[in-house]
Every structure is written in C-alpha cells, then in structure tokens.
Amino acid sequence: MTEEEMRKRLEALRIEHRDLDTAIDALTAGGSGDQLQIARLKKRKLKLKDQIAIIEDYLIPDIIA
C-alpha cells in the first residue's frame, strides 16, 4: 500500500468514525433504548480508532529529540 493510498484510507476511516459518532448520538438522544445496537456501534467505533492510530503511527514517524 502506497503512502497516498494509506492517506486516503485514513481519511475514509476518519469519516466513518465521525458518522458512527453521529449515529450513536442520534440513537441515545432519540431514546430508542436499543442498547445492543449502541454497543455494537461503539465497538465498531473503537476498532476504527485503533485502525486510525495504526495508520497515523506509520505515516507520522516518531522523532527522537
């Protein structure tokens, strides 16, 4: 995977992460009470966060000062 492809993937993951955040907020605000669905969305959101962190770590190397 090239750096450009990784940046595109990173942006797609960030968008999906934001969308999940919006969906979770809508479900909790709507009082639907579907706790299982909310839990699944939160779990997916955490997985996305981990994937985002992995790609960011690869793209932004640590600088030893």
Per-residue pLDDT of 51-60, as tens digits, reads: 999 999 999 8
Task: Return the pLDDT at 15.
Answer: 98
Task: Return the pLDDT at 14.
Answer: 97
The residues, ordered by sequence, that sit 6+ positions from 31 with a Cβ below 8 Å of its Cβ are: none
Per-residue pLDDT of 8-46, as tens digits, reads: 999 999 999 999 999 999 999 877 668 999 999 999 999
Answer yes or no: pTM beyond 0.75. Answer: yes
CB 6 within 8 A of CB 58: yes
Task: Return the pLDDT at 65.
Answer: 60
Task: Return the pLDDT at 32.
Answer: 67
What is the distance of C-alpha 50 from the center of its chain? 7
